[in-house]
């Protein structure tokens, strides 16, 4: 079925005023503001590797650590499965739309929110990723200094700047660069994580000891599931940035499930087991406790290199859409500089509440895109149809869904990300169908 969006060629002819003939404008090979053409699509294996590498993310284990001390092992598994199912389903639907259209999340937002209204999506999605980039760079500096007992600020700053340059270059190289980093790092990280789990089981007396462990803290079921969903729901909203390279919607759905349901769920489980057995949810610090400093540093760099390259790529394509430019590279570089400066001033110590708020406000954006797509442009946008500058009704749907998600969090009623997603999908779907009926009449 046609997406209604014509795929671009490798170069675009332009006819500037006063020109006697067409000139050639080179387009970014990752097509940040145009549909990915058929010749640039990737295999299912490639897509699955990139998305799995995106979610095999050591800070996710910190969320698992909080869960591991609050539930029995059986209840913990139920929480992880429920939260991962919500996250995986949401991302899979968005990923399917990305593959069908060949567009990034922020460009798809133009159809739902208008050409100017979509700037809200670019600012929110790009902004949160720059913040995460700074948090990860700062985390690398702190943990590396801890591993080698470096106490000077200069040593930490040098590590932050050097790793930021490496991650920025990987993101500038695009999809292919992130694929090869994932191919190398993801299997090694998973093997090391499984080995540490086996050591953890030795510490606690095997699976029976793990099952018999009793909670030492408390947490409600809703908060626990929200924690699981919230680990990657903001980043998952941008999954179309990569699934648009899929050759079919089916490939995108399966790759999203592997990455966001299986991969993210495993990292939460690993963190929970580490907390139960060692009292520590971060495997890097568990390795430090086991005296394996070298392996800990290798895990840290291998894992966060890939994840932060994805983060830089995300704010790069958001910047390209925001400013209407054909290349992501200037925005990858600019965002990386901002993120590094934030890390150097200690943003990792102050950004948590901000990121939690964005985790509530961003999912409704994906919900509006899903509902609007299903209602109005699933079979393709008519060629030549002008888009409004601002789609007030869909923006209102987003605002209502975001408010209800915030109220859900504030009053601890329901699961905030799920509330935001469901309300946004329902409202956007109803608005889109009403428009279609009016036009038909």
pLDDT digits (tens, 9 = 90+) for 117-136: 999 888 888 888 888 889 88
Q: How far from 425 is each of 140, 203, 292, 410, CA to CA, in Å?
A: 37, 46, 47, 22
Confidence at 198, pLDDT banded by 50, 70, 90: confident
Candidate from 98-102, 174-178, 224-228 with smallest mean pLDDT: 174-178
8-state DSSP, 262: I
pTM greater than 0.85 (yes/no): no
Q: What is the pLDDT of residues 63-85, one digit of tens each?
A: 788 888 889 999 999 999 999 99
Sequence-distant (≥ 6) Cβ neighbours of residue 420 within 8 angstroms: 360, 361, 363, 364, 367, 401, 402, 404, 405, 408
Q: What is the pLDDT of residues 32-42, one digit of tens each?
A: 888 999 999 99
Confidence at 330, pLDDT banded by 50, 70, 90: very high
CB atoms within 10 A of CB 252: 31
Contacts by 114-119, CB closer than 8 A, 24 or more apart: 114/387, 114/388, 114/389, 114/390, 114/391, 114/395, 115/387, 115/388, 115/389, 116/389, 116/390, 117/388, 117/389, 117/390, 117/391, 117/394, 117/395, 118/321, 119/322
Report the pLDDT averaged over residues 342-358.
73
Q: What pLDDT does residue 164 have? A: 95
Half-sphere exposure of 83 (CA within 13 A, CB side): 33
Is the per-residue pLDDT at 306 higher than 90?
no
420 vs 17, more confident:
420
Nearest alpha carbon to residue 406 among 348, 376, 364, 373: 364
Between CA 172 and CA 408, with CA 93 as vertex, the angle to 5 degrees is 100
Report the pLDDT averaged over residues 154-167.
93
Structure tokens belonging to residue 261: 């349901």
Q: How far from 300 is each of 163, 199, 307, CA to CA, in Å?
A: 11, 19, 11
333 vs 171, more confident:
333
Structure tokens belonging to residue 196: 């540490």
Q: Name the percent of the chain lying above pLDDT 90.
A: 34
Report the pLDDT averaged over residues 235-247.
91
Q: What pLDDT does residue 429 have? A: 95
């Amino acid at each position: 079925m046609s997406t209604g969006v014509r795929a671009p060629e490798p170069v675009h002819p332009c006819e500037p005023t006063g020109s006697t003939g067409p000139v050639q404008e080179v387009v970014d090979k990752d097509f940040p503001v145009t549909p990915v053409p058929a010749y640039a699509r990737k295999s299912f294996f490639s897509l699955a590797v990139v998305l799995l590498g995106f979610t095999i993310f050591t800070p996710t284990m910190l969320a698992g650590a909080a869960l591991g001390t609050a539930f029995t092992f059986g209840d913990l598994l139920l929480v992880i499965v429920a939260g991962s199912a919500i996250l995986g389903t949401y991302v899979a639907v968005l990923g399917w739309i990305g593959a069908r259209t060949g567009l990034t999340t922020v460009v798809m937002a133009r159809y739902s929110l208008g050409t100017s209204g979509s700037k809200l999506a670019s600012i929110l999605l790009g902004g949160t990723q720059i913040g995460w980039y700074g948090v990860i760079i700062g985390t690398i500096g702190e943990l590396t200094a801890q591993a080698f007992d470096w106490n000077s600020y200069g040593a930490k700053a040098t590590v932050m700047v050097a790793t930021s340059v490496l991650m920025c270059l990987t993101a500038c190289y695009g999809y292919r660069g992130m694929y090869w980093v994932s191919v190398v790092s993801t299997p090694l990280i998973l093997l090391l994580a499984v080995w540490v789990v086996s050591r953890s089981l030795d510490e606690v007396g095997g699976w029976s000891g793990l099952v018999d462990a009793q909670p030492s803290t408390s947490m409600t079921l809703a908060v626990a599931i929200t924690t699981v969903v919230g680990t990657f729901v903001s980043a998952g909203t941008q999954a179309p940035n990569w699934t648009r390279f899929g050759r079919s919607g089916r490939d995108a759905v399966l790759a999203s499930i592997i990455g966001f349901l299986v991969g993210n769920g495993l990292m939460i489980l690993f963190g929970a087991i580490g907390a139960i057995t060692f009292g520590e949810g971060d495997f890097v610090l568990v390795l430090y406790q086991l005296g394996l400093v070298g392996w800990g540093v290798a895990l840290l760099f291998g894992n966060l290199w890939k994840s932060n390259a994805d983060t830089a790529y995300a704010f790069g394509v958001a910047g390209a859409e925001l400013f209407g430019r054909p290349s992501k590279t200037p925005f990858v570089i600019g965002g990386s500089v901002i993120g590094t400066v934030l890390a150097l001033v200690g943003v990792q110590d102050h950004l948590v509440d901000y990121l939690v708020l964005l985790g509530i406000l961003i999912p409704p954006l994906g919900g509006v895109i899903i509902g609007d797509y299903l209602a109005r442009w699933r079979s393709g946008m008519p060629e030549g149809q002008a888009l409004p500058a601002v789609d007030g009704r869909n923006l209102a749907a987003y605002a209502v869904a975001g408010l209800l998600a915030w109220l859900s969090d504030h009053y601890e009623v329901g699961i905030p990300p799920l509330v935001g997603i469901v309300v946004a999908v329902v409202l956007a779907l109803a608005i889109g169908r009403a428009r279609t009926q009016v036009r038909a009449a």
